[in-house]
Amino acid sequence: MENKTGFYSVVISMATSILIVILFYIFALQKVGSSTQYSFTDVYAGMVYVFILSMIVSASIWPGVIEKRLKELKNLPQNT
C-alpha cells in the first residue's frame, strides 16, 4: 500500500476548514442581524479569510496526526 498521507491530509484539512467556515457563517449572521455596522459582504470576506487561515493551520497539524495513525494501523497484527 502506497503512502496516502498527503491525500488524507488534504481531505481532512478541507473538511476541517469547511466546518470552521460554517461555524463562522452562523455566528457572523447573528452579528449582522442585530447590527448595522457589518454587511453581508463583510461576512463573505470573513468566510474567505477564515477558510484560508484554517487551511494554513490545519495543513500543518493534520499530516503529523495522520502519519502517526497510519503507522499505528500498519503495525497492528493482522488476522489471517
> Does 78 reside within a domain?
no
Interatomic CA distance for residues 31 and 43, integer angstroms = 9
Which structural domain, as residue segments, surrounds residue 13?
Answer: 5-73
43-50: which pairs have CB atoms within 8 A and are 24 or more residues apart? 47/21, 50/20, 50/21, 50/24
Give per-residue pLDDT as tens, 14-33: 999 999 999 999 999 888 87
pLDDT at 71 over 50: yes
> Does 79 reside within a domain?
no
Grid look-up 476541517 returns 16
> Does 42 reside within a domain?
yes
Provide the pLDDT for residue 24: 96
> Does 44 reside within a domain?
yes
Burial (0-12, 13-18, 19+ Cβ within 10 Å), 17: buried
